[in-house]
Amino acid sequence: MKRARTMTLWLGVIFLFSKPAYAAPPIDPDAEPAAGAPQAVFNFDKDIPNQLPKGFSLPNLTRVSTACWSVQGKSRPVSRPHVLVQNGQAGPGNPFSLILVKDLFLEDGDITVKFKVTENPGSESLGIVYRYQNPELYHVAVIDTKDIGCSLYRVKKDKLKQLDNKGAIVSPYTWHTLRLLFRKSLYTLYLDGQLVMGGKDKTDLRPGQVGLWTTDGTTAEFDDLVIAP
């Protein structure tokens, strides 16, 4: 009996120290939004070239911005004939360039966009903005074709606080698909249908606007933006 108790005790110790660390499970990408939930789809094909797409706005910045987001016709868009283009400028003192969807505030969301980096002068980062409060406070899921990786950041006063980072192959001049799911404190990021990272974020879970983002110097095209709560 004494030997049996000793064996049970050792098994308990082994289980205690071998138990894997907790990791938040990825959000199910096939989970459907709530019944009747609205879904916004932007393919930019009916928008007027050389203008902002309908339903979008630029943030109100205290500094001068030369960011140029506009609808353009391209020979090889994902869906013909138009894409949304950011020409690489953000403006003096503006490290990032943003465009936001008007009148759409999400606490939980499922956002997918197709993207392509078209020039690489040294800065090649773009992403999906969410939980946007103002130009100095928001979250962004970032693709970096130069450093070959994906990151999740909280932006506060133009400073990036990295919440997560994983390596991923992202080729310039090639169309890719980025999908971000966020539900309360959970987040999951997919690139070209493959799970890249997922976890918990407790930094700031307030509802906010969503949109698209690039670093100053990144020229990129976007198409088929789909947003669901």
Q: Tell me how crowded residue 119 is: count the other CB atoms within 10 A of its CB.
A: 15
Q: Is the pLDDT of residue 13 over 50?
A: no
Q: Give me the pLDDT at residue 16, please.
A: 33
Checking if the pLDDT of 23 tops 50, the result is: no
Residues in the chain: 229
* Closest C-alpha to 128, from 209, 183, 184, 185: 209
Instruction: Say what the pLDDT of residue 22 is.
Output: 33
CA distances from 147 to 91, 98, 117, 172, 173 (A): 23, 21, 13, 12, 15
Q: What percent of the chain stands above pLDDT 90?
A: 56
**Mean pLDDT, rounded, for 38-54:** 91
pLDDT exceeds cutoff 70 at 24? no
pLDDT in tens, 87-131: 878 777 788 999 999 989 999 999 999 999 987 556 689 999 999
Cα 106 to Cα 17, 119, 180: the distances in Å are 40, 32, 13
Q: Which of 189, 151, 190, 192 is nearest to 175 (CA)?
A: 192
Q: What pLDDT score was predicted for residue 148?
A: 79
Number of other residues whose CB lies within 10 A of the CB of residue 91: 15
| pTM summary value | 0.83
Q: How far is CA 49 from CA 45, 71, 172, 186, 228, in A?
A: 9, 5, 24, 38, 26
Cis preceding linkage at 81, omega within 30:
yes
Sign of CA dihedral 205, 208, 214, 220: positive
**Angle (CA) 223 212 108, round 5°:** 105
3 DSSP 8-state letter? H
Task: Write out pLDDT tens, residues 140-192.
Answer: 999 988 777 899 999 998 899 999 999 988 888 889 999 999 999 999 999 99
Residues linked to residue 130 through DSSP beta bridges, in sequence order: 139
